[in-house]
Chain A
Amino acid sequence: MLNLLPHLVNGITLGLLFGLIALGFMLILGLMEQINLAHGSLFALGAYFAYAIATPWLPLPPDLVQAWAAVPLVWRFAAALLIAPVLVAPFGLVLERMMRRTYGRDPLYGLLLTFGAAMVLEELIRQVWGTRDYLLPVPREMSGGFIMLDLIWSTYRFWAAALAVLAMAGVWIIVECTRFGAMVKAGAHDSEIVQALGIDLARLRVWVFVLGTMLAAIAGVILAPLWGIRPHMGVDAVVPAFVIIVLGGVGSFWGAVTAGLLVGMVVGLSGAYASEWSLMSMYLLLILVVTFRARGLFGKKSVLEA
């Protein structure tokens, strides 16, 4: 048990990070019924903008850049966490504008559009930042290791897990406890009635998409110090996000959280005890669950069902 315990703890932290990655994807798919394959590229953009803000690597007058560089890293990192998602939001706005023509049509149009957008965004990153890797610096207070259970653990990993919990709580409050959330859910349930009540559904969709985009960017910022920054890092995010959403049940907040934790546990434990299966394990879990419950763990009436 003593040998197993560290891997259970690791699985939980990893699960929270997976849940964080899936949040924005869950919002857009669950509330707008759009599979946003550009989610990973928006995740990557968040990481790159955070790097630009924190290092700093900014297209500003040298005096301003120097003054900003003199600010303690902890503030620059906090600024990156807050500002990077705002900078990525306009990309979401543009993408949503382009997607409008696909609403109400075969979902493959939306898939193709967002797939194309993902490639464009990745190429844009290559053009601006080049193909090399970057490391997002972490404040000393959050980096390094600490000893627990006679092992060295990454301090930042626990900070990242805590930030993931905060992000999840924020999304839950927005969706479950605000008028905006109620309108969005009602719109997803019966768009005609909602429009008949005088609610501007088009504007609601914009806000949902922007929120999903910002969540993708937040995940990118938080994961960047752990997984590194490179142009194709989006692929590392979009695939697990998709697995988690289908596993948890499309449109279910708690489904995404639970599925994230489950995937984290399975990947973490298999990494320790059957390492060659660690990446495959999430797909096996998906197959297992979907075989017995096609709509996922918490899915009510899945948009993937006829």
Chain B
Amino acid sequence: MNQRKITRRGLVQGSLMAAAAGGTATFFGPWQHNRVWAQGAKKPIKLGLTCDASGQYGNSGQDDALGIRLAVDEFNAKGGVLGRKIEWITADTETNPATGTRVAERFISQEQCGFLIGAVHSGVANAITQVASKYGTIYLNTNSSAPSEAGENCSRVKFVWDGNGTNFSKAAVQNAVEKIGKKWLLLTNDYVWGHTTSAATKAQVEKAGGQIIDNLLVPQNTRDFASYLLKVQQAKPDVVATAVGGDDIKALRQQVSDLKLEDKAAWINNQQDWPDVWGAPQTLFGVFGTTWYHKLPLPGVAEFVKRWQAAYPKSPIPVPGNVSYNGYMATRELLRAIERAGSTNNIAVIKQLEGHKMPAAERMQHFDAYIDPVTHQVQQTIYLARRNAKPSDNTDLFEIMSWTKPELALDDAAPGKCKLKAYDEVPSFEL
């Protein structure tokens, strides 16, 4: 039909050319490890937003960015920080660690960003951390919640703002083993967050006298869960504990709901991010963890929601959820820390963040929170929720069942695993 056929050699050549082009695209250097920044009293402070816009956590990444931008806008409206305007740039990290590395390199070495903010996928967060550590750039991991992020993968320059798998497991497991049953089956997303979260759940279950009867690993981007659901039925567990996120949990929820399997075993979803719920609330089931909800009956919550809605009247999700909230809180606290430090010197800002206490009223949570100086994780109120049977409006999807104090949900193992570099080993700079 065509004069020219597709040849295997042609395809291979094309693939190699594409790979070569992709390979060179990763090379931005040479860059200098010890940066020299142009000094200027009113030079804007530039933030690099490392947010996914595509891939498994594309929706969550964009929701994260909205919270971050709101905090920036609020500071700029007050005149910025230290009299300097705050600017930001963003790029799609694609829910892909390699892309995260590339974007972080570019933001620091080419765009001269002094701070990096944003993550949902723990693999991406860890990749960005490696780059940030090399340059001494402060990195706020806003939403990735693998216990390893504040454990073996912690860093002096990284601060982790979300509750992690261990925090949520501690809040949920003990009670569930006692009241529901001892036979647990784990569904685990096959990457660092899934593995570390399920490991935390397993430890809590066994500590409470329960037993893990199987752990089914779910590769990322799994859309068809039929074989898993057959296996779950064959195993007949009392509780199914999932550490599955993003588009994968949406597909899983849809298929579980279709079969009405939510009634056959108790389901505990370690953490349920708001963007993963929005759009298919009818498939919400089981008990799940969160760090914030837009209808918490606490001072400041309604005002925050109004400000957020006024800033984003056309947002695909009409109200902020935990992901946007974490992005906002992380950015606000970073900018406050710069103000307290009176400088953008990275070490001075790190010292302002370490151990910083945040009153419950300011955090719009039930209990005071603090940044653990040993692990750099924000220890905060952990909420357990379920689907709201009597919603007050079409956004009122959660019924908050309990709120646990930070010290009761503490990840005890993290301090032993986290080894922070000494300050003098971190490259220091002033923007």
Contact = CB atoms under 8 A, between A and B. Distances in A.
Interface of A: 3, 6-7, 10-11, 13-14, 17, 31-33, 35, 103-108, 111, 130-135, 138, 143-145, 151-154, 156-157, 187-189, 191, 201, 205, 225-228, 230, 232, 235-236, 267-269, 271-272, 275-280, 294, 303-306
B254 A278 contact: no
Given A145-B259, A151-B230, A133 B279 contact: yes
Contacts of A276: 190, 217, 219
Nearest to A111: B14
Contact of A227 (B11, B54, B251): B251
Nearest to B317: A132
5 contacts: A104-B4, A145-B261, A191-B2, A227-B254, A304-B6
Contact of A157 (B190, B226, B251, B254): B226
A148 to B, nearest CB: 11
A35 B224 contact: no
A144 B260 contact: yes
A275 B228 contact: yes
B99 to A, nearest CB: 15
Contact size range, B: 35 or more
Contact of B247 (A6, A153, A205, A230): A230
A108 B14 contact: yes
Contacts of A11: 227
A271 B10 CA distance: 35
Q: Which of A189, A269, A278 has the most CB of B within 10 A?
A: A278
B283 A13 contact: no
B95 to A, nearest CB: 10
Contacts of B226: 10, 13-14, 154, 157, 268, 271
A287 to B, nearest CB: 15
Contacts of A104: 2-4
B233 interface: yes
B1 A6 contact: no
A145 B260 contact: yes
B254 A135 contact: yes
A10 B255 contact: no
B224 A14 contact: yes
B1 A32 contact: yes
B62 interface: yes
B130 to A, nearest CB: 25
B14 to A, nearest CB: 5
A36 B280 CA distance: 31
A226 B260 contact: no
Given A279-B221, A303-B6, A272 B231 contact: yes
B59 A6 contact: no
